[in-house]
């Protein structure tokens, strides 16, 4: 079983389906968590703050200032940050490159890439001072090959993957590991509503992805960095 005792984790997008699953899995493994979300009150609807759980709501990770304030709050409470799991992201699909408005491209790059850059940059000084840490980003299977109608989304997730790989090379000598998971379609209520006739047997469950992420931030994966790990279930 994954052991995350004595591990302080920052989980962004923690009120979302995947973020909540990651929080549940990592807390069950013993982690102390700082749960971060942009919404002002969604976390409190399902989670209570406690001795080993900090709720940080209304945090806009497109803002460097907000990310710095997030790190300050975590350090004031727990005095260290051992891991960052960045689940913030967005999806848009269905339109061709010709049809997609440039605002869609801006939104995908902002949600899927900019937030990751900002979140990683915010925690890195602390991890460097500590002499190590672990970061996991959430890319997508669509990052690996172009698909009609998914250009903006796929390009943003591919950019996130390159960010992950490049950052891993930059910080691995300092004991900081950086990896990405690449899920296929995640079995969420929103996806079920959007694709009611799809074959869900090939989708991947959020808790299955969360289990992989928990492993990647644990000491069991201490020799793993720069990995782009597909998590596709039966897809």
Lookup: tokens for 122 = 């915010």
Q: Which domains does the chain have, with CATH numbers?
A: 8-231 (3.40.50.720)
Confidence of residue 235 (pLDDT cuts 50, 70, 90): low
Asked if 206 contacts 18 with a C-beta cutoff of 8 angstroms, the reply is yes
In this predicted structure, the answer to whether residue 185 has a pLDDT above a threshold of 90 is: no
Alpha-helical (H) ranges within the chain are 17-28, 42-46, 64-78, 102-109, 115-130, 151-171, 189-194, 206-217
Average the pLDDT over 179-197 and give the result. 85
Residue among 217, 112, 121 at smallest CA distance from 162 = 112
The residue ranking higher by pLDDT, 63 or 149, is: 63
In the chain, the percentage of residues whose pLDDT exceeds 90 is: 79
Active site residues: 153
pTM of the model: 0.94
Taking only the tens place, the pLDDT of each residue in 57-81 is 999 999 999 999 999 999 999 999 9
């Amino acid at each position: 079983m994954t052991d995350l005792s004595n591990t302080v984790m920052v989980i962004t997008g923690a009120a979302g389906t995947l973020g909540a699953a990651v929080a549940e899995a990592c807390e069950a493994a013993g982690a102390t968590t700082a749960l971060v979300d942009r919404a002002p009150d969604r976390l409190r609807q399902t989670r209570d703050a406690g001795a080993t759980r900090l709720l940080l709501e209304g945090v806009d990770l497109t803002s460097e200032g907000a990310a710095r304030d997030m790190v300050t709050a975590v350090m004031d409470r727990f005095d260290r940050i051992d891991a960052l799991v960045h689940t913030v992201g967005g999806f848009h699909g269905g339109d061709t490159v010709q049809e997609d408005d440039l605002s869609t491209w801006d939104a995908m790059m902002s949600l899927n890439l900019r937030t990751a850059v900002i979140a990683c940059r915010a925690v890195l000084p602390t991890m460097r001072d500590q002499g190590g840490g672990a970061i996991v980003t959430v890319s997508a299977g669509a990052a690996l090959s172009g698909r009609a109608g998914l250009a903006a989304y796929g390009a943003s997730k591919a950019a996130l993957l390159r960010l992950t790989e490049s950052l891993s090379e930059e910080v691995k000598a300092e004991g900081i590991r950086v990896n990405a998971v690449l899920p296929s379609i995640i079995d969420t209520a929103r996806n079920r509503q959007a694709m009611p006739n799809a074959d869900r047997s090939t989708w991947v469950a959020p808790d299955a992805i969360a289990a992989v992420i928990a492993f990647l931030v644990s000491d069991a994966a201490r020799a793993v960095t720069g990995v782009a790990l597909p998590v596709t279930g039966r897809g």
